[in-house]
């Protein structure tokens, strides 16, 4: 096939991997920030909260035991879901997409 199309597919998957990895690290930073008492008016803390809270709140609603523990399990679950998504994307890329292109 066309080399340009092959490069586009590979760059597309690389961008998806990068976005998922960066989001995973932002969630890890959010979890670490919850151990300290950061200034809620700090722009970096507000940015991290604005990005992570919508996803974490949805996971907290799904968890039946969310408020009964002393710590929040939602970042762990979201990181696990991100790992699963990355694994599925790599599996799809290497087993279904790239063999048909090359």
- Give tens-digit pLDDT for 52-95: 999 999 998 888 765 666 678 899 999 999 999 999 999 988 88
- Give tens-digit pLDDT for 11-47: 898 999 999 999 999 999 999 998 898 898 999 999 9
* Cα-based distances in Å from 20 to 3, 8, 26: 26, 18, 10
**pTM for this prediction:** 0.84
Q: Which two tokens stand for residue 3?
A: 């080399």
């Amino acid at each position: 096939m066309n080399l340009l199309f092959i490069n586009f597919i590979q760059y597309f998957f690389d961008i998806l991997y990068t976005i998922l990895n960066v989001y995973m690290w932002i969630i890890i930073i959010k979890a670490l920030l919850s151990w300290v008492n950061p200034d809620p008016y700090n722009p970096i803390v507000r940015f991290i909260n604005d990005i992570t809270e919508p996803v974490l709140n949805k996971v907290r609603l799904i968890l039946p035991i969310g408020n009964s523990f002393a710590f929040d399990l939602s970042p762990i679950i979201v990181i696990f879901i991100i790992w699963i998504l990355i694994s599925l994307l790599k599996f799809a890329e290497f087993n279904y997409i790239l063999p048909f292109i090359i």
